[in-house]
Amino acid sequence: MMVWTILLAAGQGTRLSASTGGLAKQFLEWKGAPLYWESARVFARCARMRGLVFVFPEASLETERERVERLMRACPLGLPWKTVAGGSLRQDSVRQGLAALPESCGKVLVHDAARPFASPALVNRVLDGLGERGEEGAAACIPGIPVVDTVKVVDAGVVVSTPDRRRLVAVQTPQGFGLDRLRAAHERAEREGWVVTDDAALLELCGERVRVVDGEPGNIKITTPEDLPMLRDTVRKTPCVGYGYDVHKYADGKEAKQPARPMRLGGVAIPDAPEVLAHSDGDVLLHALMDALLGCTGGGDIGTFFPDSDPAFDNVSSVVLLDTVLDELRKTGIVLSHVDMTIIAQIPKIGPYRETIRKNVARLLGLEPGAVNVKATTEEGLGFTGERLGIKAVAVVTGMRGES
């Protein structure tokens, strides 16, 4: 089923207003854009995502729609998107977002725009828990982290009870839902007059099964003035460089050591091109890119992470594998800044697809298109590429590593 995300950016941010000059937290500038844009970039890097709905305050809906249009022109996310006005309560805003989803949408993620630190790996974990890959899933899947402090239930300043914290988790977003079930829960909430602080609570009230997966300690919500320093870049950084190289043989119908796959480059299908022999989907460009990214981390190569002897990676999308590598990059604190890639092949002609490949790789990496370069060349008829026996690619990436 198609997956869309509702990005909630309609709150008033009253607890922060004195520290921000009255500006709601989701509109604070960070990395040259409003805070909500960082979350949009994260979701755009997830291969299974098919669209975004931005929910803004009604008073600023037109202003923010125009701003999203400008941001999309400057750094296209490669996803369809819509904007809608929110309501006075969080659940009103979600309900407005649900009404804007297309008929083709079957599953939906709901995310607070004030959580800019969520990762694509977390998004994929929630989707997996929801059953997006075919296994029987739950009505909802939410990320949570263990509660480390003792929690007291208090009434009128007096402790009533102490819950067992081993059974408690602090809940985060994005939260994932089967669309029909979430809509039904919101309709019942309107009839019953329920007011809740997250959508999972509505599913619980309806008696639905809600699954919990591991959240991320760094997935913090900007809520109070004490949280604002997290948006300041005070870490000293040093540059790092990674190099990647990969080769795939063209299928000739004579050998079957590996399956023949339709050619994809940078996640883009290349029609009328030779098929390639590969255990995965055979995207030689993304394979070289992943090796370069792992070069930055000192983490080995893609064979270490995704061995071709493992049936789990049979015909797996290289875009999905890239998400895993990018999560490794994030764990090391490296911020990617530039990518330069070269495709070497006698056939097919890369020129007609070069710009599409460049934009798609930029989207997958969360970079502006100007930070990604794609080149193509032949070897003048020399070597195995010149003899039209295969294709190869090289990639060089640069980034900045934070120092503690």
Q: Could you please report the per-residue DSSP string of 59-93? A: GGHHHHHHHHHHHHHHS--SS-EEEEE--SSHHHH
Nearest 5 degrees, angle CA 279-CA 366-CA 182?
85
Shared-domain flag, residues 367 and 278: yes
Shared-domain flag, residues 248 and 389: yes
Give me the tens of pLDDT residue by residue for the chain, a chain 404 residues long. 799 999 999 987 666 766 677 788 899 988 889 999 999 999 999 989 999 999 999 999 999 999 999 999 988 899 999 999 999 999 999 999 999 999 999 999 999 999 999 999 999 999 999 985 444 568 999 999 999 999 999 999 999 999 999 999 999 999 999 999 999 999 999 999 999 999 999 999 999 999 999 999 999 999 888 888 888 765 567 899 999 999 999 998 776 677 899 999 999 999 999 999 998 899 999 999 999 999 999 888 998 889 888 888 888 999 999 999 998 898 888 989 999 999 999 999 999 999 999 999 999 998 988 999 999 999 999 999 999 999 999 999 999 887 54
Shared-domain flag, residues 112 and 260: no
Here the CATH number for the domain that contains residue 268 is: 3.30.1330.50
Shared-domain flag, residues 242 and 223: no
Q: Which domain holds residue 37?
A: 2-231
- HEC states along 266-306? CCEECCCCCCEECCCCCCHHHHHHHHHHHHHHCCCCHHHHC
Helices 284-297 and 354-365 pack at an angle, to 10 degrees, of 40
Shared-domain flag, residues 173 and 255: no
Shared-domain flag, residues 224 and 244: no
Shared-domain flag, residues 200 and 333: no
Shared-domain flag, residues 314 and 262: yes
Would you state the pLDDT for residue 133? 45
Q: Could you please report the per-residue DSSP string of 196-236? A: -SSHHHHHHHTT--EEEEE--TT-----SGGGGGGGS---E
Shared-domain flag, residues 180 and 297: no
Tell me if residue 131 falls in helix, strand or coil: coil
Shared-domain flag, residues 399 and 258: yes
Shared-domain flag, residues 277 and 226: no
Would you state the pLDDT for residue 136? 57
Helix, strand and coil percent figures for the chain, each rounded to 5: 35, 30, 35
Shared-domain flag, residues 171 and 216: yes
Last residue of a domain, one of 215, 231, 247: 231
Last residue of a domain, one of 206, 231, 256: 231
Last residue of a domain, one of 173, 203, 231: 231
pTM of the model: 0.73
Say how many domains are in the chain. Answer: 2
Here the CATH number for the domain that contains residue 153 is: 3.90.550.10
CA distance 74 to 402: 27
CA distance 356 to 180: 34
